[in-house]
A = this chain, B = another copy of it.
């Protein structure tokens, strides 16, 4: 008997329905991020875990244990995360970059950022290339504002770095039949040939240090679990090309302020707090946000609210609760009915606006160095393995 159809859809290009995360992990065949693994991370880093690891936002992985074992035996790795620039970035977009920054700070490992302006242009019919490029440059400032170490950080900006990326992308593309991307991404025949090719470009950063240095340098990719299919292709290829499989850390999808996935490209500007929203905008959006509250104050006092479905709680959880006791307090008071949604929202606004103000300052601080981190072919470095020097591990 065939399985009943799933009530949700999760692909790199579409997230729909109410996601059963345990079921999704089983469907995707990923591993559980256990408390034992989190303990190892605490021990190796010698530091408290960041909120997204401590509070279960990251809940799934591939080969993290092997990566940490290698690290303990002296084998360095690097971090990789990316951004498809179709508009301004919102709070949830920072989540993988904040985790990367934590790993970089604690373990002193290199970080590769990919800005996939080719992909977003190919994906969105109405987007023009100049606009995608400009959003890429803007988004890059937001990413670097998270606090990466410039000495250990490099940027693949697809349409600018392609001179450095293409030879490896060509190697990768030869190993991927059309039938694979059709099956993995569900592409219809009308899909443009750029998008068909694109997964080769997304695989490049995973293999790049191994390819350039001729040694085996593994990679850790924190990403939303919806991005896992890209890297399933990457992992399937790795052996055939002689590179290590990337390890993955998967986060749950952060709910938008009106429910559903927080999205920057859908045109629903009220569904997310954008990093460039002015304070009154943030206040307006959060005051209207979808919560797990009850129909009336009286009912909520009596029965309590449901944090797990609440977009405001998701923000406390992802970053804004300053420590674990505070996060537990907020969660417990929500559930018991002691904390009402209006007060909870006001408290959050008082955290989000100062964060955004600081973020905008950090953005200006990194602006002068952003250009220098973008990988471009160095003059005279022609040939199959050309490109600028890599950050030393």
Q: Residues on A close to B: CB < 8 A?
A: 118, 121-122, 129-130, 133, 159-160, 162-163, 166-167, 170-171, 173-179, 181-182, 187, 189-194, 196-197, 199-200, 374, 376-379, 382-384
CA–CA, A174 and B118, complex, Å: 10
Which residues on the B side are within 8 Å of A133 (C-beta)?
A: 383-384
Beta-carbon contact of B189 and A182 below 8 Å: yes
Beta-carbon contact of A122 and B170 below 8 Å: yes
Interface of A: prevailing SS:
helix
Which residues on the B side are within 8 Å of A377 (C-beta)?
A: 163, 376-377
- Shortest Cβ distance from A167 into chain B, in angstroms? 5
- Shortest Cβ distance from A136 into chain B, in angstroms? 11
A124 closest partner in B (C-beta): B174
Which residues on the B side are within 8 Å of A199 (C-beta)?
A: 193
- Shortest Cβ distance from A115 into chain B, in angstroms? 13
- Shortest Cβ distance from A188 into chain B, in angstroms? 8
- Shortest Cβ distance from A373 into chain B, in angstroms? 13
CA–CA, A253 and B382, complex, Å: 35
Beta-carbon contact of B178 and A191 below 8 Å: yes
CA–CA, A174 and B190, complex, Å: 11
Beta-carbon contact of A177 and B159 below 8 Å: no
Beta-carbon contact of A193 and B176 below 8 Å: yes
CA–CA, A39 and B221, complex, Å: 65
Q: A162-B166, A177-B193, A193-B200 are in contact. List 19 more A-B contacts (CB 8 A).
A: A118-B170, A122-B170, A129-B167, A129-B171, A130-B384, A133-B383, A133-B384, A159-B170, A160-B382, A162-B163, A173-B193, A176-B192, A178-B187, A178-B190, A179-B189, A194-B197, A196-B196, A376-B377, A377-B377
Q: Which of B159, B173, B378, B382 contacts A197 (CB 8 A)?
A: B173
Q: Which of B182, B193, B197, B384 contacts A129 (CB 8 A)?
A: B384
A137 closest partner in B (C-beta): B383
Which residues on the B side are within 8 Å of A191 (C-beta)?
A: 177-178
Which residues on the B side are within 8 Å of A118 (C-beta)?
A: 166, 170
If A377-B377, A382-B376 touch, whether A192 touches B173 (CB-CB below 8 Å) is yes
CA–CA, A288 and B187, complex, Å: 52
Please list the 10 inter-chain residue pairs (A to B) with the smallest Cβ-Cβ separation, ordered nearest first. A163-B163, A173-B194, A197-B197, A179-B189, A162-B166, A177-B190, A176-B193, A379-B379, A173-B193, A118-B170
Beta-carbon contact of A179 and B190 below 8 Å: yes
Which residues on the B side are within 8 Å of A174 (C-beta)?
A: 121-122, 192, 194
CA–CA, A159 and B378, complex, Å: 15
Beta-carbon contact of A178 and B193 below 8 Å: yes
Which residues on the B side are within 8 Å of A382 (C-beta)?
A: 160, 374, 376
Beta-carbon contact of A178 and B192 below 8 Å: yes
Which residues on the B side are within 8 Å of A190 (C-beta)?
A: 177-179
CA–CA, A163 and B378, complex, Å: 11
Beta-carbon contact of B192 and A122 below 8 Å: no
- Shortest Cβ distance from A224 into chain B, in angstroms? 23
What are 28 A-to-B residue pairs whose CB atoms are below 8 Å? A122-B173, A122-B174, A129-B170, A133-B384, A159-B166, A159-B167, A159-B384, A160-B163, A162-B162, A162-B166, A163-B163, A163-B166, A163-B377, A166-B166, A176-B192, A176-B193, A177-B191, A177-B192, A177-B193, A178-B190, A179-B190, A182-B189, A193-B197, A193-B199, A193-B200, A194-B200, A196-B197, A197-B197
